[in-house]
Chains A and B, each alone.
Chain A
Amino acid sequence: MARMSMIEALRSAMDVKLADDPAVIVFGEDVGYFGGVFRCTAGLQAKYGEERVFDTPINESAIVGIAIGMAAQGMRPCVEMQFADYVFPAYDQITQEAARLRHRSNEQFTCPMVVRMPTGGGIFGGQTHSQSPEALFTHVSGLKVVIPSTPYDAKGLLIAAIEDPDPVIFLEPKRIYNGPFYGDHSGKSVPWSQHAAGEVPEDHYVVPLGKADVRRAGSDLTILTYGTMVYVAEAAVKAAGVDAEIIDLRTLLPLDLETVRASVEKTGRCIVVHEATRTSGFGAELIAEVEEVCFWHLKAPILRVTGWDVPYPHAQEWDYFPGPERIERVIHKVMED
């Protein structure tokens, strides 16, 4: 065991897989010699050579297109989009090529690849360095969509994603790359090295895709969330003084509906929290699913706390961000019913 930041845990996952499977290959903008703008792949090229870890032109469509060609031949590419906001030039390759290859070829060709991308805001990145595009991928059959919230999960989920036979969109909440974040931007941030969740095994282990984690057991209400918002929800629950159950979904597609259902049946109240904009967001899907399977157990309407339906602002970042106060207000509202 070692204390690792999420960045280090992700790097460790790639390191483990590069070492144990010659088919694994890592590439993207700046990921080779320099090791990525977030330093996630630092040192990997020096260790494994530039045939395994290399830089690409600024051409996201080519990064994913090349990965598809490689994956179809049996390699295991794990590529990086520098920011999730940059994935859109590759959207066609991901959604209509990678996601569909197995099905349309009746399994003659498959696409075991991972597209990693830093997601979300909270770093003053402005409109094009802060977006949370998960719903644009959960709508696409053939993809799996993963978003971790701890270094331990990040490593175990990334190893599972690289070993998965299908294409995986791996969203990395960049606000918690270096430590948890409780929604108070003026407060001091605690690095993962001083946090229990920074304990990460150095060797191979897997956190299975499609399994949610009950982060906090409780009986008053269920909060469904993922990524950075797990911590913000924890802060809100503490401030609100309620006994809430917090579920970290970890994998959005496929969704662990059984864990969700068991929790909401127990608590009878549910709120959904995500940072992405509201309309047609993943929260809508969660609410629909919960309503379908738990309607008769519900004591109150399911509500959601999300980013506003506006582009992510720069100077007013914390007005956009669904902080603990907003979640707390909604908790009280749901508890009143």
Chain B
Amino acid sequence: MTGVKLSFPHPPARPDQVPDFSDIVIPAAGELPVPPLDLTAEQSRAMAVGLIRVLDDDGNAVGPWADYLGDLSADDLRRGLRDMLRMRAIDRRMMNAQRQGKTSFYLLCSGEEAIGCGFQRQLEKGDMNFPTYRQQTLLIGADYPLEMLIGQLYSNDLDPLKGRQLPIMHSARDYGYFSISGNLGTQYVQAVGWAMACALRGNGQIAAGWIGDGATASNDFHSALLSASTYQPPVVLNVVNNQWAISTYTGVARGKGETYAARALGYGVPALRVDGNDYLAVIAVSRWAIERARKGFGPALIEWFTYRVAAHSSSDDPSAYRAKDEGASWPLGDPVVRLKDHLVARGEWSEERHVQAEAEMLAEVTAVQKQVEAHGTFVDPQPISPAEIFRGVYAELPEHLRRQRQEMGH
């Protein structure tokens, strides 16, 4: 016996226990400064281990990052609120559709709406996101047509991908949304390559990589950080830390590291850690990092600190591994409620208007959903031609695929 023992990280609470977020340190809003665009990794340390917040507990926007957003109009914020409400309506309707068997799979982003909705609104046409499966919000923020978004979920003829990809694995080049891969982490380094191409071509565009806290354990997270550090391309590397990788607690991927943001410092990449449930903090820091990249100051990493309220996917049951109602206990609140409260406090919104807006979004999404369902669902399929699977494997159909297509009967 040596007394040497391994460490196996555990979440603070399991299903039979009371949710416990007491270990999470939440600094007051407005404490951290807005750094210069040429921020170095070393100078960013306080921001990488702290938490940038703009909205305080009473819904007021406070501190230097609030001042940085000085020109932001109430209309911009109302649009952000509408984006998030639209996302919630889609999640609600599509989760129902999955339960009714109309689609094979769905995946909610409840609690994380502010991140993608806010980030996307700061991008310009031609910029490219390399998203994970939980950043549908980037499409919403890009005003992606709902017919195509829902068509993809139903794999019908309105699906731009013609049924080739799992529902939620969208691809929308014209809307800055790279084709999603089911292999986690791989696209983080592809984002770096895309950004390098932007720099080499001098087209003024940037790339944004997205990864979850769990997938930061994958090789390509480190590949991307090293490559970004080496070549200094215009890329914003986002880590969405939502505390859970399916059933695996975030501490397993994090190990004894202090924050995910702090990992970037060892690569010489400046990093900021942000309250991901604070829409104003999201747009402020997104705007800063995107401007930094576009002006040639190189990569930055942003850790969005948030919570995955829903199950991992429609195939997952979180009651088997985490405390009941943990999401409701999340100390950083609900991004929709927080932005609503802020607008109400400013006299730019009201509870009545909010209820009305929720109903409007649900009605809009429901109407589009019905229209898309007329083109077929899993319950009532209108099959896409099987010959479609042979298209686009190569630019030109090779002889052996032509023979196989004939063998299939097409």
Contacts and interface: CB of A to CB of B under 8 A. Distances in A.
A70 B183 contact: no
Interface centre among B207, B227, B399 (most CB of A within 10 A): B227
Interface string B386-398: 0000001111001
B219 A75 contact: no
A141 B190 contact: no
A10 interface: no
Interface stretch (B23-31, B116-124, B164-172, B255-263): B164-172
A70 B224 CA distance: 14
B193 A61 contact: no
A101 interface: yes
Nearest to A289: B400
Nearest to B190: A69
Contact of B399 (A51, A106, A165, A254): A254
A106 B169 CA distance: 12
B106 to A, nearest CB: 19
Interface string A89-110: 1001100110011111111111
B223 interface: yes
Interface in A135-151: 141-142, 144
A113 to B, nearest CB: 10
A201 to B, nearest CB: 26
Contact of B171 (A89, A96, A108): A108
A67 B393 contact: no
Chain B interface extent, by class: 35 or more
Interface in B204-234: 207, 219-220, 223-224, 226-227, 230
B171 A62 contact: no
B51 interface: no
B247 interface: no
Interface string B176-202: 001101010011111111111110110
A61 B220 contact: yes
Interface in A101-144: 101-110, 141-142, 144
A73 interface: yes
Contacts of A43: none
B197 A75 contact: yes
B194 A105 contact: no
B147 to A, nearest CB: 16
Given A73-B198, A108-B173, A165 B395 contact: yes
A254 B395 contact: no
Contact of A109 (B179, B198, B395): B179
Nearest to B195: A69
B172 A108 contact: yes
Contacts of B226: 57, 59, 62
Given A61-B223, A102-B392, A166-B394, A96 B173 contact: no
A108 B192 contact: no
A214 B223 CA distance: 44
B296 interface: no
B186 A96 contact: yes
A246 interface: no
Interface string A38-56: 0000000000000100001
Given A69-B189, A104-B161, A109-B178, 14 more contacts: A61-B189, A62-B189, A65-B220, A69-B190, A69-B195, A69-B207, A70-B193, A72-B194, A73-B194, A74-B197, A93-B220, A104-B181, A106-B160, A106-B162
Interface of B: 128, 130, 160-162, 164-165, 169, 171-173, 178-179, 181, 183, 186-198, 200-201, 207, 219-220, 223-224, 226-227, 230, 392-395, 398-400
